[in-house]
Amino acid sequence: MKVKKPRGIRHDRDCGRCKVRGIKCDLNRPRCSGCLQGGETCNYPQRVVWVDDKKKSKSPKGTSPQTPEEIPDGFSKSASINLYGFVDLLDTFCQQIQSSSRDIPEEGIQLITRTLSFARSRIHDANNKESLQSHLVALTNLSQVIQSAHPIALFGIATFAMFEVCCGSFGNWHCHLQGARSLLDLHCQHKADLDDVCGEISGLADVLAYLVWFDATGALVRESALIFEDWHRETLSASFFDSVGCPADTFDLFVYLAKHRDSDGVRTIDLSSRAMAQILQLNPGDSTDRNLAATVYRGAAAIMAFSRAGMTTGGDPSSSTYHSNVVSSMVDRACQAIADIPSTSRFYVHLATPAYLIAMSASTARQCEIIRWYWRNCQSCEFPRYPDAEAQCERRWRICGVGFSVD
């Protein structure tokens, strides 16, 4: 009888430092206990998962999404890596220009290939030598192309903007967008010019779609003016809205709110009717990821509109109470949708802006805890993102006297 060999301990999942030292890793994420106690950086082997838009991530058969009470300490659920599909777009475009005879300067071609290399290494590990070196090379190359004012520089700008959205201060990603707008203005004064440029450079319209999306969502968080114009936002297609889970008409309301952030000249009835239009399209009987994401977006838009409508009631106590009650009810509903949608859903990481907007109107400990749970899931995934979003929400809650800190 053949004696089976005892199975060894798998080390392919251990963090880098534990593996080098030959010690057992407890596999805690985002940092194992050994590295945490030693105050050292914990680097796990990265497995990047590209999400097919045609596939839907679901909970295992026979299970249901966890609610915040069921999430263990440490928030171990992990979101899939997609980064808005942007690296896929860069990869496709890189292959196209390498096999094309189009009149693209050599530094432009180098920009795309080096930016793609930077994006890949940045996803893998932001702190390793390769990532830092590729970041410097891509940034230097981008500066050269910007000096030539070639529109292909928008690919590089958008890549750096994407990582700023994921890893920078939440909502403060307008610097890159202002640079992109300035470059675009050199080539496009109206929609026809934009169509011509996008026709000459394949993939440019897709890049601009990300930029104008970041512009609108960032303007809502910062409560600042929009950078791009309406005709720039026409680059947003139905497929883009489908990829992030936001209904197109909800995005239109977001833009309307960004344009009228001071509520000057906006009637209460107009804001209330726009909010009600979002509420009437909610479908409580549909528990699919797509509908849950739409509920979060529609809820955030309705909450913002009703909140501003409450500010313009002219001091009428009954109207103010009515608007406050509606807002509280919508926050509950939107928070429940955030709690119900699996963090493995392709829409999950795209819910950051509506989650933040909902958090600004949170009034109960339960609502605050759901939002905390969302931010911690985003931080515990293989590519952590939105590092200070939870802290920004906590500051707001402390000012309003709601919620409580959870360690």
Per-domain residue ranges for the chain?
83-233, 246-400
DSSP 264-312: TT--HHHHHHHHHHHHTT--TT--SHHHHHHHHHHHHHHHHHHHHHHHT
Per-residue pLDDT of the chain (407 residues; tens, 9 = 90+): 444 444 444 445 677 667 666 777 877 765 677 777 776 666 655 433 333 333 334 433 333 344 444 443 333 333 333 454 667 767 777 776 666 655 677 777 778 788 878 887 777 665 666 667 777 788 787 887 888 888 888 988 888 888 889 889 999 988 899 999 999 999 999 999 999 999 888 788 988 999 999 999 999 999 899 999 999 999 999 999 999 999 999 999 999 999 987 655 667 788 889 999 999 999 999 999 999 999 999 999 999 998 887 765 555 666 667 767 888 899 999 999 999 999 889 899 999 999 999 999 999 999 999 999 999 999 887 778 899 999 999 999 999 888 664 44
State which amino acid sits at residue 159.
T
> Is the alpha carbon torsion for 160, 163, 167, 173 positive or negative?
positive
For residue 315, the 8-state DSSP code is T
Q: What are the angstrom distances between the C-alpha of 356 and each of 290, 301, 375?
A: 19, 11, 9
